[in-house]
Amino acid sequence: MPTQTKTHAASPVREKAQTLSGQGLHPSGEVHWNLIGPELMLAAARREEGEFAEMGPFVARTAPHTGRSPNDKFVVRDPASEKDVDWGKVNQPISPAHFAALLADVRKHLDSSPELFVEDLHCGADPAYQLSVRYVSPNAWHMAFVRNMFIRPEPSALATFDPNFTVLHAPEFEATPAKHGTRSGTFIVLNLTERMILIGGTRYAGELKKSMFTVMNYILPKQGVLSMHCSANAGDNGDTALFFGLSGTGKTTLSADPERHLIGDDEHGWSGDGVFNFEGGCYAKVINLSPEGEPDIYRTTQMFGTILENVVLDPVTKRVRFDDKSITENTRASYPLHYIPKSVPNGRGGHPKNVIFLTADAFGVLPPISQLTPEQAMYYFLSGYTAKVAGTERGVTEPQATFSACFGAVFLVWHPTKYANMLGELLRRHGSKVWLVNTGWSGGAFGVGHRMKLKHTREMIHAALQGKLDNVRFDADPIFGLRIPAEVPGVPREVLHPRETWSDGAAYDEQARKLAGMFRENFEKFSGVSDEIRNAGPRQASEAHVPEQAALPEG
């Protein structure tokens, strides 16, 4: 076996004899073990994997893939996990034989690479539920990314690091569908039994992050811990809040609140001891980012150590053009959690007092904030609704409803009702309040109305978290049955009732009934839920006779 040399001046701990034989690798080239951020950045620059922007962040481009490839994700179907997995479009099966063939070819590809970079990291801030993950890649910047995103062990712990999960990353290797059982040359293959992930045919770094989230979504529920696609923060007195939401709803923006302490921005577990982050970093969308709107996140994009994906730089000044979407609208920043000034160092919090479901309703009909009953919480959690703005091709401007169970269907392994039942039990046990917050459109649908003001959304969330809505009157929405606070400090009253923001009330009613029908149609696939949960959704048109501002009981 060739000597695995080092060219960096690393600490003696990192220089101890290391081997990749446990991962089935016998590389012929140079292997770099657990380089720290600056070393990885310098290696990435030396290898011409990207460039530096003004103020020092590293810029990488991932074309042709500028987002995840969910249709290329597979789970190995074997006797050990077959009965657990919710097989279908999300969890596409691949045979053990195809996995073995792909693994052999990925190993051969990595063995022949001139250089390999290895990072030993943790997934899960609670030691009781933590995975020890070994990442192997031929690219330095990708390993800088995972080092940003996951939990970095103390150097003294590296000598005895014992990985219980492996991720082999081969971005330049393309699978052969006939041989490997994939759909295309791109592949993200999870073997839950052998605790291994293979990623190739794509340079998009998000696959390295989200594949481990999928793993946690499988392992933690088996241990009685709810895995969640949500951000989390805490107030000065330790009160924890969760923020669920799909991409574009404001999950990262609203959790990175200067008035609160950030636990994490994307993935968490809820155990008997409270909430814990899976990660040690953040992965924020930065399209149209501004220092005025999101000062803490903007500040990270001016720091060495941050990785910017697919942003456009001014050719002369090397400043980022945050409003430039010529490469993709899905521009991203990866940075360590401690780059946010008020972050929680240990990534843990207590049981949440408040849970917030975020939606960006481009139809313009959902209220900006409403409190949910326990049954409504289950209904809207299983629905996982947001709306995306359609493209302008052929003049189409109609919003497109998106329903993603548990606000993260593409990352679930078990059936969605398993996660929903666990959430329901936790909400009941700990008395958590649940709020639905619409960060989408007001005064009309997309193209007519305007996006909800971030200032107003922050005021509403602050009021909910600080208990300022505990004693106000709540009004009933006639179609969705949602409880809307009659007043929120700092927010104009007319903003709270969406119908009042429309110039044409009849047009609002028509749009609201249309969206309600979409909710009901989507929910038909959940055949096993109780009537109480099913009836907590939007009313049929014939049932929607509740006066618009009929008072509901407080509490």
- The string of DSSP letters for 82-131 reads TTTS-BTTTBEEE-HHHHHHHHHHHHHHHHT-SEEEEEEEEE-SSGGG-E
Closest CA to 373 of 297, 482, 455: 482
Mean pLDDT (the chain, rounded): 92
The CA distance from 456 to 488, in Å, is 9
Tell me the one-letter amino acid at 80.
A
* Buried b or exposed e, range 501-533, using 16+ CB within 10 angstroms: bbeeeeebbebbbebbebbeebbeebeebeeeb
pLDDT for 103 equals: 98
The residue assigned the tokens 């996951």 is 150
DSSP label at 208? H
For residue range 113-139, what is the model confidence (pLDDT) as tens digits?
Answer: 999 999 999 999 999 999 999 999 999
**Residue found by looking up tokens 């190993």 in the block:** 107
Identify the residue whose tokens are 């799909």: 246
The predicted structure's pLDDT at residue 316: 97
pLDDT in tens, 524-533: 999 889 999 9
pLDDT at 548 over 60: no
Give dist(CA 174, CA 464) in Å, integer: 49
Q: Return d(Cα 197, Cα 137) in angstroms, integer.
A: 12
pLDDT at 544: 47
- What is the C-alpha end-to-end distance of the chain, expressed in Å? 69
Q: For residues 214 and 217, give the distance between their C-alpha atoms in angstroms, rounded to a whole number.
A: 5
Mean pLDDT across the stretch 314-322?
98
- Could you tell me the pLDDT band of residue 248, with boundaries at 50, 70 and 90? confident
Residues tagged active-site: 68, 210, 229, 247, 251-252, 266, 332
- In 331-467, DSSP assigns E strands to 332-336, 348-349, 352-359, 369-372, 385-388, 400-403, 433-438, 441-442, 450-451
| CA-closest candidate to residue 168, choices 116, 132, 220 | 116
Q: So what's the pLDDT on residue 17?
A: 54
pLDDT over threshold 90, residue 107: yes
Q: Does the pLDDT value for residue 349 go beyond 80?
A: yes
Residue-level pLDDT at 247? 85
Q: Is 247 exposed, middle or buried (0-12, 13-18, 19+ CB in 10 A)?
A: middle
In sign, the C-alpha dihedral spanning 438, 443, 448, 452 is negative
Question: Is a pLDDT exceeding 70 seen at residue 545?
Answer: no
User: Residue 151 belongs to what H/E stretch?
Assistant: none
d(CA 206, CA 250): 18
List C-alpha distances in Å: 525 to 313, 405, 417, 522. 45, 11, 11, 6
Model pLDDT for residues 173-221, shown as the tens digit of each residue? 999 999 999 999 999 999 999 999 999 999 999 999 999 999 999 999 9
- Report if pTM > 0.85: yes
Q: Is the pLDDT of residue 110 over 90?
A: yes
Which residue stretches of 368-504 are H helix?
A: 374-383, 416-430, 454-465, 493-496, 498-501
Q: Is the pLDDT of residue 395 over 80?
A: no
What is the band of 140 on the pLDDT scale with cuts at 50, 70, 90?
very high
Label residues 193-203 b or e (16+ Cβ within 10 Å = b): ebebbbbbbbb
Position 9 scores a pLDDT of 47
pLDDT reported for residue 452:
95
DSSP reduced 3-state for 492 = coil
- Contact between 10 and 40 under an 8 Å Cβ cutoff? The reply is no
Sign (positive or negative) of CA dihedral 452, 458, 459, 464: positive
Mean pLDDT calculated for residue range 480-485: 96
Q: Which residue has the higher pLDDT, 330 or 544?
A: 330
Whether residue 551 has pLDDT greater than 90: no
For residues 292-318, one letter each, b for 16 or more C-beta atoms within 10 angstroms of the residue's C-beta and e for the rest, the string is: eebebbbbbbeeebbbbbbbbbeeeee
Q: Residue 501 and residue 211: Cα distance in Å, rounded?
A: 42
For the chain, percent of residues with pLDDT exceeding 90: 89
Q: Is the pLDDT of residue 457 over 70?
A: yes
Would you state the torsion angle of the CA atoms of residues 290, 236, 228, 209, taken in this order, to the nearest 10 degrees? 50
Residue 496, Cα to own-chain centre: how many angstroms? 28
**pLDDT score of 254 more than 50:** yes
Inter-CA distances, 534 with 376, 381, 509, 521, 529, Å: 9, 12, 22, 11, 7
Select from 401, 352, 371 the least CA-distant residue to 473. Answer: 371
Query: How far is residue 442's CA from residue 439's CA, in Å, rounded to a whole number?
Result: 9
